[in-house]
A and B are shown apart, each in its own frame.
Chain A
């Protein structure tokens, strides 16, 4: 549909990185007044497409991008050109300043109107802001602090800020690209946002909407394009799609309707029993973990997977639910108490939550076991150093000496040190949050080898990971968290990456049998 109403047209777009094809032969048309959704799994090429449109990444030569009738070679599109042609981007985190007022946030996008001597003309700013607020239905006063706004309004504010300078009342409209605008929004907020977007589209804007959470908002968009492995899998009217069809398009094969049995039938003696746990985003989570079992936890960001681990470790207070460890009620309110109960925790953000960067490896390794070396009124430093050397060898840490600061190691080796810090305690329960994030392949194998050894020795593991392949390969069983609830449990032979992806992307409805 290359009519006059086509706002954005992409032809033959390709992008290759050394060794990888991120996009190949992608065609896309978006009409003015249309809300067009772009869907796809992880690694499908969505983000690359956005980067090419924004001019941040250069596409391979050959493709073309037509914006509002102006045609550009795809390999020539730079940030300034994209902007001048009428493309506007609003990114996931919206980038609004919560401590500032609505008018200040808007002024930051366009500059303050100034009078003689560089004085800010507040009255004019306020009038301009009031007009924008009305047009974009932000639901606030110019002087409202942004932190007090509801999430959908914040996103609208970010949109207004992005569009204000080209929305000058003329008929010419551009293309608004929204990257994951609803990822952080509760469902009703997402619907509110989309209904406002609908009015924006009615005013002539073309909206390209990129989302992981598309199935929830399918009924609010006009058309959907699905990318898979860098190629356009399909473009379809939203009316012709339903959730199952969409997931089939995203995953690339017919959806297996027979879901694995969600019943829990672990044979061995349970180590950890969680019943009715609700904290943060978690709602009524129940499961058991047997001795020597690796229980994977799958879920999108915000599904509550990290909160689950942090609440078990006593870092997040929980009010409801019953948790027992080896049959004894677990009442850990601090990490120290959780450790005393036999729990160990490797957090997701190593640099922020686990590393003692300027301290030597020896002290990093014994950080959770310091008092062990308190003998006869002094620290047994020689024993500590000997143990550190043994652990560095055992966990295959590439390091010169136990006295070298942790920060001098690579990410993978740092992670091995953190893992060694906890495994030396022989924990009953090991909580792992993204243990191989930012870790190279070799170190990853080392990490899982040592993990397996610990499991064989009787440690039970609760493993959170984003990489479904890894999750499927390492875990004995996987819980799928969605919207804070346990949506499914998978065990072999149903435990495979494709099924995990399907299950994490389904809506909150119960899986079809």
Chain B
């Protein structure tokens, strides 16, 4: 490879829209690839590019149909699944009852919070694998504060939040300031936190002496709706607002698209990444508080076990609303899609294997869809 500017020009153009055409046309019409030929060569590339722009595109209706199918496909499948279990004679009796729906919503409120925690840094391309473990640790912190130190509920919540934000800060410093690969860093953090929980609790659940009002908040309903929704819905709206309607969210999107470009348009990349992981820690701590209330205590296993369902939901959610990009509404839809499907299988009698099989399958399908969506968008 002779590295003249002409070649760089070709490489630059080759990476963009007209990649395929740029390879074929100017190669056939290639002129002397030294700088002097650059004008000519780039002209060829450029014309090829114009030709691509002017290609007869999809008709508007076609494009709209594909766009809608892309955007709301998951919702359609979701509706089909619910309809199926509601009508199937093996499940129809219990599936769509208020009790079952309430149970699913109540249980999944915690997972949905973990998912929100993961979406914030993921918008900037940072995968936080420690969110579920932060949820576990903070649920244990809240339980222990009440059970072992007789703290009032608000102190327990404050302790949980402080710990979640603190762990988020450590993640943020490691990833943003020391530029450690976020997957490795957060995986290490998740493993470490799992061990800390076992050490602190001796592997036993912490359930005694919890505030009754706190437990009621986790298990009872207001107007037929699980009370946890009071925290979940504002959190969903808040995350959506933060990511889609503030400059901060736009910075995260820009970093997620191209960190080098983001830096060169004046975005303070390290600071933005750091705060995104702190916010993730805070949201995960809220999830921990909800988990503690819902379960009426804490144990070392439950929190970390949310990692995989949350992971699957985030990527499944990236196929709706804003296809190709992780987004809070889509991720929460993903959570409930998985939960309602698994519940149906559970009622039909396939309890133990249904959840991992369906989570795994959903993740594989979702990531395949997302990758191909993103690729289509880029070419």
Contacts and interface: CB of A to CB of B under 8 A. Distances in A.
A448 interface: no
A437 interface: yes
A345 B16 contact: no
A42 B3 contact: no
Contacts of B254: 356, 359, 363, 367, 370
Q: Which 10 A-B pairs have the closest CB atoms?
A: A440-B46, A43-B36, A410-B49, A42-B35, A356-B257, A336-B266, A438-B13, A22-B32, A438-B9, A42-B36
Interface string A67-111: 000000000000000000000000111000000000000000000
Contact of A18 (B29, B49, B262): B29
Contact of B266 (A19, A179, A368): A368
Given A17-B32, A335-B263, A469-B39, 10 more contacts: A41-B36, A93-B1, A180-B2, A350-B12, A356-B258, A357-B257, A405-B378, A407-B16, A438-B45, A440-B49
A44 interface: yes
Contacts of B45: 411, 438, 440
B34 interface: yes
Given A180-B2, A357-B257, A315 B264 contact: yes
A466 B258 contact: no
B208 interface: no
Interface string A360-401: 000100011011011000110000000000000000001010
Interface stretch (B242-250, B278-286, B312-320): B242-250
Contacts of B10: 438
Interface in A181-223: 183
Most buried by B among A315, A334, A349, A370: A370
Contacts of B262: 356, 367
A188 to B, nearest CB: 22
Interface in A310-368: 313, 315, 334-336, 338-339, 345, 347, 349-359, 363, 367-368
Contact of B253 (A339, A363, A373): A363
Most buried by B among A230, A352, A421: A352
Given A47-B33, A301-B5, A410-B18, A440 B266 contact: no
Contact of B42 (A17, A353, A440): A440
A20 B17 CA distance: 27
Given A47-B4, A301-B5, A363-B254, A441 B39 contact: yes
Contact of A357 (B35, B258, B264): B258
Interface SS majority for chain B: helix
B31 interface: yes
Interface string A40-52: 0111111110100
A367 B8 contact: no
Interface string B250-261: 110110011011
B interface residue count range (under 10 / 10 to 19 / 20 to 34 / 35 or more)? 35 or more
Most buried by A among B13, B47, B244: B13
B50 A409 contact: no
8 contacts: A350-B16, A351-B12, A352-B260, A358-B325, A405-B377, A407-B17, A409-B17, A411-B13
Interface in A417-448: 421, 434, 436-443
Nearest to A46: B34
B53 interface: yes
A180 B196 CA distance: 59
Nearest to A466: B5
A120 B2 CA distance: 34
A460 interface: no
Contacts of B247: 370-371, 373-374, 379
Contacts of B325: 358
A409 B50 CA distance: 9
A357 B5 contact: no
Given A301-B5, A349-B12, A440 B43 contact: yes
A301 B7 CA distance: 13
A440 B50 contact: yes
Most buried by A among B13, B16, B40, B254: B16
B119 to A, nearest CB: 17
A466 B50 contact: no
